Structure 1
Amino acid sequence: MSSWAIVAIAGIIIWGIVEIARARAGIITDEDGNQKIAKRKDEKSKAELMAAKRELADLKERVKVLERIATDGNTTDARERARIAAEIEALRGLPAAKEEQSE
């Protein structure tokens, strides 16, 4: 065998090894020759992703509730509304008490 044939065979083998490694790593080439990493379709990772999304949604809901508890009753507007509501309720009971006393 000539030395050029040995070089050609070694080159083909190396090229094949590189292509197999790229395929295992998920590197693909589009029609323009650009290389991209292909997304893998692992069922386990999809289930984990969905569980993480559900947990994140639950945590966001808990934070909303905690923010509402921490801020709603403690603002000056909320205190003012509560004071006005209590005053209105007290005034509602006041005329009814006067009518009972006059009879």
Structure 2
Amino acid sequence: MGELIPIVALMIPIVAIWAKHQQKIAEMNVNSTAEATAEKAAQYSSRVSELEDRVRVLERIVTDRGYDIATQIEALRDQRRVDEQDAGVPLSMSRRENV
């Protein structure tokens, strides 16, 4: 038992140094995590602001010309129907001659 006293006496400073080192490592991890989180927050903030700008533009388009866009879409649909009806008929022949 008497031999353990010097060993314990030498272990106390070693444990103190080890504990201090572990504390520094933990602080460095916290700092690096905080920096990475701040960078990601800045990136997300930038991306959110870009998306908000896009939504504003889309809202303006829809509210300013909403009815006009619907009319244009219907006109394109009507044009496509006309094009589909005329497809496949040679210019020299009429539809009645094919039937």
Question: Shorter chain as normaliser: what TM range?
Answer: 0.3 to 0.5
TM-score, L = length of structure 2: 0.41
More helix by share: 2
More strand by share: 1
Point out which structure has higher relative CO (alpha carbons under 8 A, 6+ apart): 1
TM-score, L = length of structure 1: 0.40
